[in-house]
Amino acid sequence: MSGEKPKAIALIDGEHYIPVLKGAIEYVRKHYKEFELVAAVFLGGTEKIGTPEDVKKALDIPVVIGKGDPPIDDIVETAKKYGASIAIDMSDEPVVDYEKRFLIASALMAIDVKYLGADFEFRPIEFHKVAKYPSLKCIGLGKRVGKTAISMYTAYILKNMGRKPCVIKAARGGPEKPTALFGDKLELTPEFLLGEVEKGRHAASDYYEEALMAKIVAVGARRCGGGMVGKPFYSTEVEAVEYANTLPIDFIIVEGSGTTVPAVYTDATELVVSALTPPEHVSSFFGPYRVKISDLIVITMAEEYNKPKVEKLEKLIKELNPNAMISEVVLRPKVLGDIRGKKIAYASVAPPEALEKAIIPYIEEKYGAKVVGYTRWLSNRPKLREDLEKLLPKADVLVTELKAAAVDVATRMAVNMGKEVVYVWNIPVTTGGMNIDEAIKKLVELAIKRFEEAQNKG
């Protein structure tokens, strides 16, 4: 109803005497008149109260006795039941510590509820509903987890499903205005990329990689900063989606940058986590928020030697979001050129262990080339130059991922030395969980179903 106040629930504990709890509720009514307090959830503790039932009888609002430590499910269900958009935390140590508060905050924001305390406020990200086609967002729990590879592969699967996907990518080095690349009409060559650099463009930006390798439409945008929950401080993602609506496409993928969560409403979400991601980044801070809002979670770098780490991450993910699909993959390079019988220098952002134990042996066996050395410093220009000065004289070909300084430094150095340049596309290969192709198809179907249901509702 118009003019109705937003509803709030209170989070209380038994480490405070009942008269104090009653006083706190009256304080809220007096000093927070902009919303209506409709219910409370009892989080635990009995030192000052006798029994939780005593609290239930004493307060003049409904009290839910929570089960669990913290009682996340009861908090979420109570907020939903009473239509609350705010949760006010009146609890304290020892019932609720910092770690538990992050879990509560993540769970509340995942259902679009603000979490408010005496000296803190966590607001859910406001997702703008601007996409005119079915859509999904691809987010990451860290940088260099393989998010762009998964986003690009998702677009590839969409193409094979007969769709016309567009990837939106707001990056730290993105263009001033949303800019489209039509990958099916462009050729991936060193000459083209260096020509883009000469025009002042960041030709190794992710949207170049996705457009040129997957042969799709990609729109580049920009962003700066990221909040604790994940919202960019400044971005042009919304404008980029509005622009994409005018292009010859029928599905939109909005890819996050780093750990940011694009402030664009989408019909489904996929989260990319690396096997090297610290477990506490999944289970603590605002990792649980990202896990809870995701429909598909892809664990990359799931090599055999990382199996214990993968198993631990998967256990944590299932505890936080038992309904999410999980796929474990390794990324393997698809070399976009003929390197058989040649000596190559390989440029990457992958960690040394993955390069030495998996990626380089894979290239040599599959493509019949000899890797004379590698650099993992595509994201560090001084170290990249230093490595390539040593490697390129020994090589026939530079084989490089299209990342960071791959064009303005690596490609330029190779071309100046008269070396051939070949680019690679990192393809996910399933090692556990759901098959990655099937998981993406199910995610796409879910997004389309939700989009159509929303359209039918008007």
Distance CA 77, CA 37 (A): 16
Segment 347-372 shows an average pLDDT of 92
Fold match flag (135-331+431-457 vs 333-426):
yes
Distance CA 86, CA 457 (A): 26
CB 35 within 8 A of CB 86: yes
> Does the N-terminal peptide bond of residue 94 adopt cis geometry, omega within 30 degrees of 0?
yes
Q: Please give the C-alpha separations between residue 302 and each of 144, 269, 289, 332, in angstroms, as whole numbers.
A: 14, 21, 23, 12
**pLDDT tens-digit profile of 99-128?**
999 999 999 999 999 999 989 999 999 999
Q: Stretch 386-415: mean pLDDT, rounded?
A: 93
Give helix then strand counts, H and E, for the chain. Answer: 16, 19
| Cα–Cα distance, 189 to 337 (Å, whole number) | 10
Distance, CA of 342 to CA of 164 (rounded, Å): 37
Taking a C-beta distance cutoff of 8 angstroms, is the pair 105, 115 a contact?
yes
* Average pLDDT of the chain to the nearest whole number: 93
Put residue 368 in one of left, alpha, beta given phi > 0 → left and psi -120 to 50 → alpha: left
Residue 47 confidence (pLDDT) = 79
Phi, psi of 62 (to 5 degrees): -60, 140
Of 148, 168, 255, 185, give the one whose Cα is nearest residue 220: 168
**Which position has the higher pLDDT, 398 or 206?**
398
Mean pLDDT calculated for residue range 400-429: 93
pLDDT tens, residue by residue, 12-71: 998 889 999 999 999 999 988 899 999 999 998 887 887 888 888 889 999 999 998 899
Please identify which residue in the block is written with the tokens 């770098």.
301
What amino acid is encoded at 111 in this protein?
Answer: I
In 3D space, the residue among 73, 75, 72 whose CA is nearest the CA of residue 63 turns out to be 75
Rounded average pLDDT over 196-201: 85
Enter the CATH code of domain 333-426.
3.40.50.2300
pLDDT of residue 203: 76
What length does the chain have?
A: 458
Identify the CATH assignment for 135-331+431-457 out of 1.10.530.10, 3.40.190.10, 3.40.50.300, 3.30.70.20: 3.40.50.300
Per-residue pLDDT tens over the stretch 265-300: 999 999 999 999 999 999 989 999 999 999 999 999
6 has a pLDDT exceeding 60: yes
CB-based burial of residue 391 (10 Å sphere; 0-12 exposed, 13-18 middle, 19+ buried)?
buried
Quick: pLDDT tens for 298-315: 999 999 999 999 999 999
Question: Across residues 216-241, what is the average pLDDT?
Answer: 93
Please say if the pLDDT value at position 2 is more than 70: no
* C-alpha to C-alpha distance for 335 and 369, rounded to whole angstroms: 11
What sign does the CA torsion over 224, 350, 214, 304 have? Answer: negative
pLDDT score of 1: 46
CATH topology of domain 7-122: Rossmann fold (3.40.50)
**Which tokens sit at 107?**
């769970």
* pLDDT > 80? residue 204: no
Please tell me the predicted confidence (pLDDT) of residue 50: 79
pTM here?
0.90
| 59: Cβ contacts below 8 Å, ≥ 6 apart | 18, 21, 22, 25, 40
Give the pLDDT score at 201.
80
Residue type, position 44, single letter: G
Q: Read off the pLDDT of each residue in 381-392 and give the average, rounded to a whole number.
A: 95
Residue 257 has pLDDT above 90, yes or no: no
pLDDT value at 360 more than 80: yes
* Structure confidence at residue 3 (pLDDT): 64
Residue pLDDT, tens place only, 362-377: 999 999 999 999 999 9
At 71 the pLDDT is 95
Q: Quote the pLDDT of residue 4.
A: 84
CA distance 147 to 359: 18
Domain regions of the chain by residue span: 7-122, 135-331+431-457, 333-426
Q: For the segment 390-400, what is each residue's pLDDT rounded down to a tens digit?
A: 999 999 999 99
Beta strands 420-433 and 84-89 are unpaired
DSSP 405: T
